[in-house]
Chain A
Amino acid sequence: MKTREYEITISPTGEVEVHLDGFKGKGCLEAIRFFEKVIGETKDVRQTSAFYEPDEDVQIHNEQRH
């Protein structure tokens, strides 16, 4: 089981800021799409360093050839 955490701030004008935590790689894109579907249109996305780490579900196989 993986834990995802979100910190959501809804301003008095209704604008929403979502901090997505617990993701590595582009797995958070699916979460972003969920919030877009519920709330509206994305105005800005700031990706942190973890965004550029390998996707969690992608397995990298090193094949050695002789």
Chain B
Amino acid sequence: MSAIVIITPIVIAAWPAFGSAVAAAAVSMGFTVLNEGVNQTRLTEHQQGGLTVTLDVPNSAAVTGGLGRDQRIRIARDGIIAEFSRDARGRDSVCVTGEGYSQDALRSMGEELAGRTVQQYVLAKLKTEMAGRGMDLVEETVGEDNSVRLRVRHWQN
């Protein structure tokens, strides 16, 4: 062993990649993707009849150049609806609502969804970049704490 490195992710993705990460996170948490598209009606309390909590997706850098602006993807589970969106400034956020849920419960769900989306984004990007470098993915497991563990081997001259 030579070193252990802790890296904080930075999400810089065009919408297709970000939308895929949201969908992968949703499926891993038992959510269903309801719809995805541009300029859908924004999720509001009025629509759902419950409280609404909106959070920024952590570590997501604004993507300029119109890569997926005003895109939305909506997911649902057990009466909770969450909508990930990218605004005109390129900022990613998640809005969570659900009738009968407290604000704390919705906030907690939004934070977990946002984190798992970043996790899935990092996982997909790592796999693509490592394959391009000739690194072999030997093993992939998901721990009880929902961490994803990869064992990778690389032969070098």
Residues in chain A within 8 A of chain B (CB atoms): 1-24, 27-28, 32, 34-36, 38-48, 50-51
Contact = CB atoms under 8 A, between A and B. Distances in A.
B105 interface: no
26 contacts: A2-B156, A3-B155, A4-B154, A6-B151, A6-B152, A8-B149, A9-B149, A10-B148, A12-B119, A13-B118, A14-B58, A14-B115, A16-B122, A18-B5, A18-B7, A20-B2, A24-B2, A35-B7, A38-B129, A39-B7, A40-B8, A41-B10, A42-B8, A45-B6, A46-B3, A51-B2
Contacts of A23: 2-3
Given A6-B150, A6-B154, A22-B2, 16 more contacts: A1-B155, A2-B155, A5-B152, A8-B149, A9-B150, A12-B119, A13-B119, A16-B7, A17-B5, A17-B6, A28-B3, A38-B125, A38-B126, A39-B122, A45-B6, A46-B4
Contacts of A51: 2-3
B125 A39 contact: yes
A42 B3 contact: no
Interface residues of B, number: 39
